[in-house]
Amino acid sequence: MKLRVWISMNKKLILITGATAGIGEAAAHALAAQGHELIIVGRNPQKTSLVAERIRTQTGNDDIHFLLADFSDLQQIRELAEQVKTQFSKLDVLINNAGTYYSQRQKTKYGAEKTFVVNHLAPFLLTNLLLDHLQDHARIVNVSSNSHYDGKLDLNDLNLRKFYFGLTAYQRSKLANVLFTYELVRRLADTTVTVNALHPGLVATDIFQRDLGILGPLLKGIISRFSITPEAGADTTVFLATSTEVEGVTCKYFAKRNAVTSAPLSYDEALAKQLWKVSERLTAIS
């Protein structure tokens, strides 16, 4: 059944990453049902194409496009940004939703382990490359997690050589999301672009079972007993992307549609500036 609901006067061009499963797919579906034009980004060509077609069919919204990028490959992020600039008019909303979790440390060529690359460096790079392609009053929405409250950030050990634990790496990357959000707001102070971060809630997505073998489904089953649906998890993302209630609101961390206090360490401006400088170097953006 088609559930098309048009908001013609407020139609936005929205790019959402990690949109082929879980929270990202649920958010894309909800935004499409509202009548917005979407660019969904995924890693797998067949899966991303199928998700885009499913969203078109189920919502009756034909303005659903897709692009491909593996967020562990920063060159693909550069190519993604160029495709967006070439193929689409200026963006109204950028939703940095793509995320990952690895139970074992995975090396990269970028001077940081893979969780940090995918969850922080890739959206950092993409956002910076698309800043000049944002409309006035555009919105940037960064999907973080309440796990950032336990995050620690040693900028001298981004490969976690001293000690690697999957949850520790994930917590650190989610803290980086919030630090990045607040520092980006300070750097965009003279613009009308808003930037906010959010906790979607506990959702039993597949990222926590990717490399756990037979333990993966078991872990997902345990998490599912305490989790919310992907649709519920996507609610705050959709709210921040489109609601008139948050027009002009910036530099906030949201949970369940409410601005809440983030981790004390996330307000450390000196750390945020250091993280920005390191991120520029690792992504070769400056």
Known catalytic residues are 170
Task: Return the structure tokens found at 155.
Answer: 């900028």
**CB contact at 8 A, 11 and 35:** yes
Burial class from Cβ neighbours inside 10 Å (0-12, 13-18, 19+) for residue 161 reads exposed
Q: Are 151 and 175 in contact (CB under 8 A)?
A: yes
Q: Which amino acid is at 153?
A: L
Structural element, H or E, at residue 261:
none
Helix (H, G, I), strand (E, B) or coil at 25: helix
Token pair for 84: 């967006």
Q: Would you call 144 helix, strand, or coil by DSSP? A: coil
Q: Report the SS3 class of residue 199.
A: strand
| Beta pairing partners, 86 | none
Distance CA 134, CA 121 (A): 20
Per-residue tokens: 121 = 């460096």
Residues 6+ away with beta carbon under 8 Å from 218: none
